Amino acid sequence: MSTETPVLEHHAEEPIVRLRHPWRWVAVAVIAVYAAVAVQFLATNEALRWDLVFGYLFEASILNGLLTTLKITVIAMLVGVALGTVLAVMRQSENPVLRWSAAGYVWLFRGTPILVQLFFWFFLASVLPQISLGVPFGPELVSWDTNAVITPFVAAVLGLGLNEAAYMAEIVRAGIGGVDKGQTEAAEALGMSPVTTYRRVILPQASRLIIPPTANETITMLKQTSLVLVIGVVDLTTAAQLIYGHNFQQIPLLMVASIWYLSLTTVLTIVQGRLEKRMNRGHAPSGKTRKARVRGAEL
């Protein structure tokens, strides 16, 4: 009995027909036209007063307002991240008092406008003239005048920071929920306390999920600081407002503030991208790995 070896027929490869996307070029053309119109408007409109824009860009009061904006952003975010982490851990607690207290905090501060919260802290002296420390239902040990303690700057930090803590609590809680429960069980098997487990096992692993949205919150916080003008804090926006209140050049001064906000946001966005890339090392497949997978699938 003989067996015949099958002869493989070689067929000419069919030409590859590239998929055309004519509407993409239409979209590009439309965007290019509108971009050109915008550039022409910005470059030729004399009412924009670019001489004033560049003249006030590094003016002393503008730079002082910029520094105040940065201070409020940094301090409020530190308050929000620290308190938000504590609230997130409380939300995971088996103690119902801690769990419901944290849930109540998040409900209250997420459910009321941030502008209302800023006004509340600014006018706190109207309902609490003195801030006192002492024995509950007992003698007062020390007290301070509320207006002396809750300055406009402090009211801004409290209003923005405590509000941010409610959102950070949910971000951290989601990050903690993204860590495999087996990690907690392994830590318990090693005899770690709950605090040590969170500090050395859970939070380091959850940080990969926490840091990107926290960076977004920081960018949002930077822009939200403009709200503090309603309580008399001279931030970047307020500094621009005070200047155009005298020279009536509203648009040029608002453009000065916008240039600084855009510059800071761009820097934070670059930092965010680098942080995400660093945190994703070892979790996302590299280019070579992806190519190998594609080739393996083709085979």
| CATH superfamily for domain 50-132+139-279 | MetI-like (1.10.3720.10)
The per-residue pLDDT for 13 is: 63
The domain segmentation of the chain, as residue ranges, is 50-132+139-279
Mean pLDDT in consecutive groups of 10 residues from the start of the chain, 299 residues: 53 66 82 88 81 92 96 97 93 90 95 95 92 76 87 96 96 85 79 79 81 91 95 95 91 94 94 81 53 44
Q: What is the pLDDT of residue 112?
A: 95
Alpha carbon distance 235, 66 (integer Å): 6
CA pair distance 200, 281, nearest whole angstrom? 20
CA gap 163, 220 in Å, rounded: 12
Q: What is the DSSP letter of 124?
A: G
Alpha helix (H) ranges present in the chain? 22-44, 50-56, 60-91, 96-111, 114-122, 146-149, 152-177, 181-189, 194-197, 203-224, 236-247, 250-279, 287-298
Q: Quote the tokens at residue 117.
A: 């919260």
Q: Would you state the pLDDT for residue 296?
A: 44
Q: Measure the CA–CA gap between 69 and 222, rounded to whole angstroms.
A: 7
pLDDT at 294: 41
* Interatomic CA distance for residues 151 and 144, integer angstroms: 13
